[in-house]
Structure 1
Amino acid sequence: MPEILVFFGLIASGKSTLAEAVARREGMLYLNTDRVRKELAGIDATERRPDALGQGIYSPEYTERTYRTMLDTTTEQVRQGGSVVLDGSYSRRKDREGVLECGRQTGAAVFFILCACSDQEVRRRLEIRARDPLAVSDGRWDIYHRQKESFEQPDELEDSQLLILNTEAEPDFLLLKIRQWLGEKS
């Protein structure tokens, strides 16, 4: 049965590191909101965009388009029998519900991995990312705080669909924990 794994959480929570590793290990299609958003805008993935949250390529309309594109691609992949890893904030309930509906319509199993860490760790990661010329995310400290205020808690998800990880642990340990959790689901 195809699976849809959604790695979600705030900026710099470690979701992309884990999502990419799981997708690579399992041979799953990997879709990242930052990459899809920039591809839709016709810009290079590593091009920095100083747009504030809610403006430019981060406007509500562009965000809608980004998540819709990811959902359409996911639906197509799952209908062909493939599994998908989705990587993005999924901070809005309606975006998570869209993935759940995709699972219902296609018969795919849907699992959510909420990635979280302390404010201090987020700041440290953002400082490192700001110096990385290959970084795809435009996340900044001010955007983190705005996103934190507007993040809708995943109350709509059943406990069996949700794994919450403190991503300050070692990545290898977290990947093992994800593998064990998913193994319990199959």
Structure 2
Amino acid sequence: LVVVGGAPGTGKSTLARALAGPLDATVLSTDDIRAAMAAAGEISGAPGTLGAGLYRPENVAAVYDAVLDRAGRTLARGRSVILDGTWGDPRQRDRVRTLAAQSACPLTELVCTAPLADTVTRIQTRTATTSQVTPQIATALVAGDDWGPAHWPQAHRVDTTTPPAETLAAALDICRNPHPAD
């Protein structure tokens, strides 16, 4: 079980998809699951506002519940899973650790990092994506620093400003050679 977290625009989805092949893993994206749940009428609200609409606390909780439920079922079938989402809430990260323990599978926690200016540019230039995040949401979330070492000490930092092949190699090394986060 691999968690790929971090602020919006830091390259989480890109890294998660890149890891999927080498790790023979299924990617479960909070963005994709949120979009599917909204399309099915399971959650509702306007996109693009932190703490409101699709990002109301009850909707966020429902999305993470669905992600963890699917992860548990996928792990039970013997498949590896990559969880792609912000994972800024330590309670949700604790739930991942519980799932890993219950599934008797190793857990690797990665947090993607990039300067705010880079993340805003990435968000503004996205093409095909299910993400509803805006530069304003990214800025507000980064201000909370939910992904810093003090708030997520178990996570390995992955600098996503390096060339994609280097970023992938660094993340694969962490996944394949488990060691405590720095």
Superposition TM-score tier, normalisation by shorter sequence: 0.7 to 0.9
Matched, 1:27 2:24: yes
Matched, 1:143 2:104: no
Matched, 1:120 2:120: no
Question: Equivalents in 2 of 1:16, 1:99: separation in Å?
Answer: 18
Question: Equivalents in 2 of 1:54, 1:155: separation in Å?
Answer: 23
Residue 53 of structure 1 is matched in structure 2 by 50
What is the alpha-carbon root mean square deviation over aligned residues?
1.9
Q: Aligned match of 2:159 in 162, 166, 182?
A: 166
Identity among equivalent pairs (%): 25
- CA drift at 1:50: 3.7
- CA drift at 1:147: 1.1
Q: Match for 1:97: what amino acid?
A: D
Q: Match for 2:85: what amino acid?
A: G
Question: Equivalents in 2 of 1:151, 1:68: separation in Å?
Answer: 23
Mapping for residues 128-139 of structure 1, pairs under 5 Å: 128-129=125-126, 132=127, 134-139=128-133
- CA drift at 1:155: 4.5
Instruction: Rate the CA distance shift 1:155–1:79 in 2: closer, same or farther, 3 A.
Output: farther
Q: Match for 2:64: what amino acid?
A: Y
- CA drift at 1:156: 6.8
- CA drift at 1:146: 1.5
Instruction: Rate the CA distance shift 1:11–1:156 in 2: closer, same or farther, 3 A.
Output: closer
Question: Equivalents in 1 of 2:99, 2:26: separation in Å?
Answer: 16
Judge which range, 25-34 or 142-151, deviates more: 142-151
Aligned with 2:107: secondary structure?
A: strand
Matched, 1:101 2:95: no
> TM-score of the superposition, structure 2-length normalised?
0.87
Q: Match for 1:17: what amino acid?
A: T
Residue 46 of structure 1 is matched in structure 2 by none
Residue 10 of structure 2 is matched in structure 1 by 13
- CA drift at 1:54: 1.2
Q: Please, which runs of 5 or more residues in structure 1 have no aligned partner?
A: 44-48
Length, aligned pairs only: 173
Report Cα offsets for 1:94-131 as digits up to 9, x if no partner: 010000000111101111110010112112212211xx
- CA drift at 1:157: 5.5
Instruction: Rate the CA distance shift 1:138–1:156 in 2: closer, same or farther, 3 A.
Output: closer
Instruction: Rate the CA distance shift 1:155–1:102 in 2: closer, same or farther, 3 A.
Output: farther
Alpha carbons 2:74, 2:80 under 8 Å: kept: yes
Residue 171 of structure 2 is matched in structure 1 by 178
Q: Match for 1:14: what amino acid?
A: G
Aligned with 1:139: secondary structure?
A: coil
